[in-house]
Amino acid sequence: MEDRILQTARSYRRFDRSPVAEIEALIRTIRQDKTNSFITIDEEGALRDAAAAEKMLAHSDDPLVGVPIAVKDNICTRGLATTCASKILAGFVPTYDATAVKRLKERGAVIIGKTNLDEFAMGSTTATSSIGPTLNPWDLSKTPGGSSGGSGAAVAAGLCAGALGSDTGGSIRMPASFCGITGLKPTYGAVSRFGLVAFASSLDQIGPMAVSARDTAVLFDALKGHDPLDSTSAQREYPQMGLEALDLKGVRIGIPEEFFSEGLDPDVERSVFFGISTLENLGAEIQQIKLPHVRYGVAVYYIIATAEASSNLARYDGVRYGARDTDAKDLLDMYLETRSKGFNDEVKRRIMLGTYVLSAGYYDAYYKKASQVRSLIARDFEEAFAQCDLIAGPTTPVTAFGIHDMVDDPLRIYLLDIYTIPANLAGLPAISFPCGFGAEGLPVGMQLIAPHFREDLLLGAGIAFQEWTKFHRVKP
Amino acid sequence: MKITQDEVLHAARLARLKLGLAEVEKFQNELDSILEYMDMLSKVETGDIEPMSRSFHVTNVFREDEAVRSQDRAEALLNAPCHKDGVVVVPKVIE
């Protein structure tokens, strides 16, 4: 199967299958599935919306009508529990839809359920979820990556036609790479963050995940655009996303030497070079570039992201929503007990790190310094994009690893984000799509990064690549 | 060690987290290796480079000063773990 969303849309219009039948079949499949991709399945809501979609089909040619979409469980859905895979949000049912969800529903898409993630999207394995790890459909002993691992695994396992993820330091692209699918982190400000539970507000973006670049473009087209409810969403007009391949003739693609450094698995390197030569065969001009400051990206990220997280997660205090420890004797005790019992160790570690780097005496050495180096990283990209149109490299240094590996070594897990973090720091759009398989038959993803608001280049190049390759068609 | 046990406890106190003794030691070790890694930043020449807090330039975003409907009180209280007479209830603060 090449495109799942577009194929589903065609099958509805040929009357091969109705949306209600599609959703019923899918819910049966999800219930038997072993990947633990979903936290909540919304059978009742999905069937109701599918029935409504059947009426819409008669007078709409929108490819999203009746199409089942899964939503990462840190994105608010009206009337449907949103847990962030955390005990501290037990019982929380949003009273509104995130703008991204609202826009999908307006286009007729059916939200089938909420997908698993690392608690509060903090992690790269989906193993820190309070409901337990999601398993990679390619090999159930491996991680699907994270933090949008539930969305990645659900798309790869065929449990939905497409999904929403969120990406703060690589959380869409990494699971896309590990699960052999396509994932887009849009430009900061291209998709409204209203209703996305905040982790690091200057880095977070919602984005689409799907089996193909074309399906990803269909979803991005619905998501993009200014939202008055998110003051950081960009006030600009977007053209409708085309579903055509980009003509790569003369497109200049920069290869940063820093993305092929120590720690890169030889299988990943081989597949990514194959991917780059495919782009070259399609007419792209390949050139070496330098991004001298990206090597500091992980250090910068884990200062800025944790600093912002320590502030954002202060709101979980047991007062207005979520769980509350009821044995507490006074207010301070209630905060302490609620938060200490509600958060897992990874979240606590990041809150404490963020609190520490912002605390008196350390602010200049850590937070200010990191924000300055962030400027230098952004400047590296500006200079690179004066010479080239796109930047290509690996998405992650390795393929999917065992679900129990690396759990005791937070720094090693942080370093897996080394190639994805720079785009978040600079606010740039980036895509990951499959470009080969490693020794164990696990998918390898390649990453393209574009200048601000040039998602059209990323998606067009992805479509062109997938017209000439079959990696995205291989199923687990 | 780049971070002392007292500093771990201080950060935990500021963040409203309660740590057991074993946890203090565990977090100290983990935070220490992370902070040591972050030391690489001290070698970067940053001079008077402007710190970056936003990935593109937006200044104040204003809207018209018009009242619009947002959540009503009953709806906002739906998720509160304890409420009474239209307000959230918390343990007694003032003796």
* C-alpha–C-alpha distance, residues A153 and A13, integer Å: 28
Helix (H) or strand (E) holding A27: helix A19-32
Token digits of residue A406: 């690396």
pLDDT of residue A441: 96
In a domain, B15, yes or no: yes
Nearest-by-Cβ selection for B56 from A189, A296, A373: A189
Q: What per-residue confidence (pLDDT) applies to A147?
A: 97
Q: Does B50 touch chain A (CB under 8 A)?
A: yes
Band (pLDDT 50/70/90 cuts) for residue A83 is very high
| pLDDT computed for residue A444 by the predictor | 98
A147 is catalytic: yes
Model confidence band, residue B61 (pLDDT cutoffs 50, 70, 90) = confident
Q: Is A375 a catalytic residue?
A: no
Would residue B35 count as lying in a domain? yes
The pLDDT assigned to B57 comes to 64
State the CATH number of the domain containing residue A120: 3.90.1300.10
The answer to the question of residue B55 being in a domain is no
Residue B94 within any structural domain of the chain: no
Number of domains observed in the structure of chain A: 1
pLDDT at res. B63: 83
Mean pLDDT of chain A: 96
Task: Examine residue B69 and state whether it is found in any structural domain, yes or no.
Answer: no
The stretch A76-88 carries a mean pLDDT of 98
Which whole number is the average pLDDT over A113-117? 98
Cβ-Cβ pairs closer than 8 A, A with B, add up to 162
Closest residue in B to A377 (Cα) is B52
Instruction: Judge: A96–B71 Cβ closer than 8 Å, yes or no.
Output: yes
- Cβ of A359 and B10 within 8 Å? yes
Render pLDDT for A412-462 as a digit per residue (tens, 0 to 9).
889 999 999 999 999 999 999 999 999 899 999 999 999 999 999 999 999
Mean pLDDT of A60-82: 97
Q: Is A49 part of any domain?
A: yes
Considering only CA atoms, which of A216, A168, A153, A217 is closest in space to residue A442? A153
Mean local confidence (pLDDT), A192-202: 97
Comparing CA positions, the residue from A475, A427, A419, A466 lying closest to residue A447 is A419
Higher pLDDT, A238 or B32: B32
In a domain, A312, yes or no: no
Is the pLDDT at B54 greater than 80? The verdict is no
The closest alpha carbon to A181, from A205, A204, A149, belongs to A149
* Tens digits of residue pLDDT in B13-53: 999 999 999 999 999 999 999 999 999 999 999 999 999 98
CA-to-CA distance for A114 and A83, rounded, in angstroms?
9
Per-residue pLDDT, averaged over A222-247, amounts to: 92
For residue A156, tell me if it sits in a domain. Answer: yes
Query: Is A457 contained in some domain?
Result: no
Domain range spanning residue A73?
Answer: 4-239
Give A 11-70 residues with CB within 8 A of chain B: none
Percentage of chain A surpassing pLDDT 70? 100
Confidence of residue B58 (pLDDT cuts 50, 70, 90): low
Range of the domain at B20: 5-43
Q: What percent of chain A has pLDDT over 90?
A: 93
Per-residue pLDDT at A1 exceeds 60: no
Q: Is residue A316 a contact partner of residue A282, using CB atoms and an 8 Å limit?
A: no
Residue B59: pLDDT over 80: no
To the nearest whole angstrom, how far is the Cα of A197 from the nearest Cα of chain B?
A: 15
Q: Can you tell me whether residue B84 is helix, strand or coil?
A: strand
Question: At A154, is the pLDDT very low, low, confident or very high (cuts 50, 70, 90)?
Answer: very high
- Answer yes or no: A37 catalytic: no
Distance to chain B for A111, nearest Cα, Å: 22
For residue B11, tell me if it sits in a domain.
Answer: yes
What is the average pLDDT across A15-41? 97
Q: Which residue has the tokens 């994105």?
A: A75
Question: Considering its fold, how many domains does chain B have in total?
Answer: 1
What's the CATH number where B36 sits? 1.10.20
Query: What was the pLDDT predicted at A355?
Result: 97
| Residue B24: inside a domain | yes
Residue A404, pLDDT score: 86
What would the mean pLDDT of B54-65 be, rounded to a whole number?
77
Provide, as residue numbers in chain B, all residues whose Cβ is less than 8 Å from the Cβ of A428.
55
Q: Find the mean pLDDT for residues A62-85.
A: 98
* A104 in any annotated domain: yes
Per-residue model confidence (pLDDT) at position A410: 85
* Range with lowest mean pLDDT among A304-313, A371-380, A467-476, B62-71: B62-71
Q: Which residue of A has its CA nearest to B30?
A: A410
pLDDT digits (tens, 9 = 90+) for A306-318: 999 999 999 999 9
Query: Is A467 among the domain residues?
Result: no
Note whether residue B72 is domain-resident: no
Is position A475 within any domain? no
Instruction: Tell the residue number behind the tokens 């782009």, with chain if given.
Output: A279
- Tens-digit pLDDT profile for residues A313-358: 999 999 999 999 888 889 999 999 999 999 999 999 999 999 999 9
Mean pLDDT of A235-259: 94
**A405 exposure class (CB count in 10 Å sphere: 0-12, 13-18, 19+):** middle
- Got the DSSP string for A366-413? IIIHHHHHHHHHHHHHHHHHHH-SEEEEESSSS---BTTTTTT-HHHH
Mean pLDDT across chain B, nearest whole number?
91
Concatenating the DSSP letter of every residue in A56-86 gives: HHTT---TTTT-EEEEETTB-BTTB---TT-
Asked which of A81-90, A268-277, A316-325, A376-385 is least confident by mean pLDDT, the reply is A316-325
